Amino acid sequence: MLQKMNYSLFHSINKFAGYNTCIDTTAKLIAEYLPFIFIPVMMYYWFFKKDDASKTGILLVGYSTLLALLINLLITLFYFYPRPFMMHLGRQLVAHAPETSFPSDHTTFMFSIAFAFIAFNVSGKTGIILALLALIGGLTRVFAGVHFPFDVAGSIVVSLISTAIVFVLKEFFSPINKRLIVFYRNILSQVSLKQGK
């Protein structure tokens, strides 16, 4: 039942692939490179927001994202589900190794950052925008024939779980965060002193 629903949703999205060069090229770019937009956003909040709260939030975003990818890795060790092209389903626009499909690492990466931006009060508005981009990115990978819709749904669940775990443990990370922020500020001050000479 669920498998049929997954295949049906996949075909309803992927069936539009391969008919328009402009749309296909745009989809390829989004599917492969959209996650790279999320990194400079995090860097902006780390380097250009001077308050400790923003830096603490970004550190928690990083922990949440790493945990989500670790959960994905654990899932792949115990559960294998072939990608659409491995089952000769749909049209494949993006080259990919024939490895497990569930869940999507790209989508997990994006949603983890988006949810953590909201949960840790880095920026709710930015988090919502990133979540929308993550959804677009996930669906584009379905359009490109390298993931099923349930892979995207699984990524959302993993991202929520990782964010929730880090949220519960955020006090545990507090001393670590303080040391990292102090270390960063010390490096900045030393650089400033050297430049002032």
The tokens describing 178, both together, are: 């303080």
pTM of the predicted protein model: 0.91
Mean pLDDT of the chain: 91
Long-range pairs for 78-82: beta carbons < 8 A, 24 or more residues apart: 81/148, 81/151
Q: Which pLDDT does position 85 carry in this prediction?
A: 86
User: What phi and psi, each to the nearest 5 degrees, are found at residue 51?
Assistant: -75, 150
Asked if residue 196 has pLDDT above 60, the reply is no
Which segment of 75-79, 138-142, 173-177, 192-196 scores lowest on mean pLDDT? Answer: 192-196
**What is the rounded CA–CA span in Å between residue 146 and residue 31?**
9
CB of 28 closer than 8 Å to CB of 167: no
The whole-angstrom distance between residue 127's C-alpha and the CA centroid of its chain comes to 12
Instruction: Determine if the peptide bond prior to 35 is cis (ω within 30°).
Output: no
Asked if residue 88 has pLDDT above 90, the reply is no
CB of 148 closer than 8 Å to CB of 101: yes
24-58 confidence digits (pLDDT tens)? 999 999 999 999 999 999 999 998 888 888 899 99
